[in-house]
Amino acid sequence: MRVRSRDLIFVAIVVIVVGGLYYLSTKGKARAVPANPPEHLTAKTRTDCLVCHTPEKFTALEQAHRHPGKWRDERVSCFHCHTPAAGRAQTRAHQTREWRAAKTLK
């Protein structure tokens, strides 16, 4: 069996497409919450996060295009995008309960 140039071109296109999809799937992902400072290990709600991460800091990050504006919505949990700090499991069910609780408060 002989490998033709069109076969190599096809393989190159497949590699480029798969590589491009991988790059796009990892681009712009929210970073995990670091375990340091220790407050990150105990934070469970949005209000726990906003004790240190003030609206002024988020506004500056928003203007620098480094954080989306959805943090302003009280129904959105920080852990919806950011994975929790190591050592503390945050489940999707907990996030849903938090969102429902914030929704009923309005």
Say if 56 falls within a structural domain: yes
Domain ranges, residue 94: 31-105
102: buried, middle or exposed (CB in 10 Å: 19+, 13-18, 0-12)?
Answer: middle
Say if 19 falls within a structural domain: no
As given in the structure block, the two tokens for residue 18 are: 């798969």
Say if 24 falls within a structural domain: no
What's the number of domains the chain is made of?
A: 1
pLDDT, averaged across the chain: 77
Say if 47 falls within a structural domain: yes
How high is the pLDDT of residue 93?
A: 46
How high is the pLDDT of residue 7?
A: 93
Say if 9 falls within a structural domain: no
* pTM confidence score: 0.49
How high is the pLDDT of residue 97?
A: 56
Whether the pLDDT of residue 102 is over 80: the answer is no
Q: What is the pLDDT of residues 42-74, one digit of tens each?
A: 888 888 888 888 888 888 887 777 777 777 788
Say if 91 falls within a structural domain: yes
Say if 88 falls within a structural domain: yes
Q: Would you say 21 and 15 are in contact if contact means Cβ atoms under 8 Å apart?
A: no
Say if 15 falls within a structural domain: no
